[in-house]
Amino acid sequence: MTFFKYTLISVAFVCAMNVNYTLKAQNFSLGLKVGPLLSRSVIADKFDRKDFSQRNKPGFMGAGLIIFPLKNNYSFETEIGLSQRGRKILSNADTWTNSATYYYADASMLLRKSFPLRIRKNIPTQWFVNLGPNISYWIGGHGKIGSGGLQSYDLVFGPMPLEPPQPDFDKMYLTNVNRWLFGVNIGTGFIAPLRRSHRLLTELRFTSGHTFYGKPTSASWRTLGFTDNLRANEKVVSLTIAYLFDIDLKESRKGKSTQDKDVHRKPIKKKH
Closest CA to 140 of 159, 152, 154: 154
Tally of CB atoms within 10 A around 261: 9
Query: What pLDDT, in 10s, does the model give residues 20-35?
Result: 544 445 688 999 999 9
Burial class of 61 by CB neighbour count within 10 A (0 to 12, 13 to 18, 19+)? buried
What residue ranges define each of the domains in the chain, with the CATH number in brackets?
Answer: 2-263 (2.40.160.20)
- What is the rounded CA–CA span in Å between residue 117 and residue 127? 6
Instruction: State residue 187's pLDDT score.
Output: 97
**% the chain with pLDDT above 90:** 58
Q: pTM to 2 decimals?
A: 0.82
For 12, residues 6+ apart whose C-beta sits below 8 A from its C-beta are none
3-class SS at 182?
strand
Average pLDDT value for residue range 223-236: 88
Closest CA to 201 of 121, 109, 126: 126
Average pLDDT value for residue range 179-205: 93
